[in-house]
A and B are shown apart, each in its own frame.
Chain A
């Protein structure tokens, strides 16, 4: 199985733990990078990243701004917004940017669906 690198960006440590636990459970070999803010996430640019799971409401840069920057830097990576902010306007912006949009709360099924975007035959 191809090993992938996942970047999880969420200011909530609890959310990162929940996401990470599903990823590790399903794909123990995948590499996981964690960031608590958009600025911190940008320090990982230059590394190989296949999948990004990004929260919207965070201190400093919001998740959509980060996703726009990451989309330009990683055009082939899959990016999904995973957020409690489920306003139609936010979802439309995600659609326009060509990224995934998933509503919190975090469940195993939702994370599996996001992971399937980069590993469809193994999830």
Chain B
């Protein structure tokens, strides 16, 4: 079992707090209102257990965007919203740039770009804090229940992952979503070594 010390967990949570703060700032810039954030969760879990945590509300359908990351950390980053809210989010983002009748057609592309901006804000912030470079793949639209999304995302159910999750909310639109990072444990030894370097420098 992979274990981390309290101070390492505290530092990871703080990195996630700062990174989500950057993401919340860009989301707030896009939607023009304050974004509420939950306390980050950090856990080491098998992927199939982590998949259950994707679900926002039992087995409700969700839509979102995923990007693979590699470099200082390796794994997947996901941004998830309730499926019925995606069109609202797209409408807020695009405003009157796109005719209303074209919104549905643009929904997936727009969601990919929203995901690209938010997930890159997080990944860039993590990279800057670690003073390392992280490469992210192009964004991919995903939709389904947590289990379905999990099935799309991996074929390695029993692999242990470091699971980082932060929820966020837009009060005026009653939209709640979450961002998840699932980091592969083999890459974590290097990640933890980076953390120790930073902690020791404090």
Categorize the interface residue count of chain B. Answer: 20 to 34
Minimum C-beta distance from B127 to chain A (A): 5
Does B97 interact with chain A (Cβ within 8 Å)?
A: yes
Minimum C-beta distance from B85 to chain A (A): 17
On whether the beta carbons of B94 and A85 are closer than 8 Å, the reply is no
On whether the beta carbons of B136 and A104 are closer than 8 Å, the reply is no
Q: Which of A7-15, A46-54, A73-81, A111-119 contacts B (4 or more CB under 8 A)?
A: A7-15
Name A's B-contacting residues (CB within 8 A). 11-15, 17-18, 21, 57-59, 83-90, 103-105, 107
On whether the beta carbons of A107 and B29 are closer than 8 Å, the reply is yes
- Give me the 8 closest cross-chain CB pairs, A-B, nearest first: A84-B120, A84-B117, A86-B124, A12-B113, A87-B124, A87-B127, A105-B30, A14-B113
In the complex, chain A residues whose CB is within 8 Å of the CB of B123: 87
Minimum C-beta distance from B192 to chain A (A): 21
Minimum C-beta distance from B36 to chain A (A): 19
- DSSP class of B's interface residues: helix, strand, loop or mixed? helix
- In the bound assembly, the distance between CA atoms of A66 and B31 in angstroms comes to 31
Residue of A nearest to B112 (CB): A12
Minimum C-beta distance from B58 to chain A (A): 31
Minimum C-beta distance from A99 to chain B (A): 18
Residue of B nearest to A15 (CB): B113
- In the bound assembly, the distance between CA atoms of A85 and B117 in angstroms comes to 8
Given A87-B133, A104-B26, A107-B29, CB of A14 within 8 Å of CB of B120 = no
- In the bound assembly, the distance between CA atoms of A14 and B139 in angstroms comes to 13
Minimum C-beta distance from B69 to chain A (A): 11
On whether the beta carbons of A17 and B98 are closer than 8 Å, the reply is yes
In the complex, chain A residues whose CB is within 8 Å of the CB of B128: 87-88
- In the bound assembly, the distance between CA atoms of A13 and B106 in angstroms comes to 9
In the complex, chain B residues whose CB is within 8 Å of the CB of A89: 127, 133
Q: With A87-B134, A104-B120 given, can you name 14 additional A-B contacts, CB distance below 8 Å?
A: A12-B116, A13-B106, A14-B94, A14-B106, A17-B97, A58-B138, A59-B138, A84-B26, A85-B136, A86-B120, A86-B121, A87-B127, A87-B128, A103-B26
A-B contact pairs, 7 of them (CB 8 A): A15-B113, A18-B97, A21-B97, A57-B120, A87-B128, A90-B124, A104-B116
Instruction: Flag B13-57 by CB within 8 Å of A: 1 or 0 each.
Output: 000000000000010011000000000000000000000000000
On whether the beta carbons of B120 and A85 are closer than 8 Å, the reply is yes
Does B110 interact with chain A (Cβ within 8 Å)?
A: yes
Residue of B nearest to A84 (CB): B120
Does B109 interact with chain A (Cβ within 8 Å)?
A: yes
Which listed residue (B29, B30, B93, B138) contacts A57, Cβ 8 A? Answer: B138
In the complex, chain A residues whose CB is within 8 Å of the CB of B133: 87, 89
In the complex, chain A residues whose CB is within 8 Å of the CB of B121: 84, 86
In the complex, chain B residues whose CB is within 8 Å of the CB of A59: 138
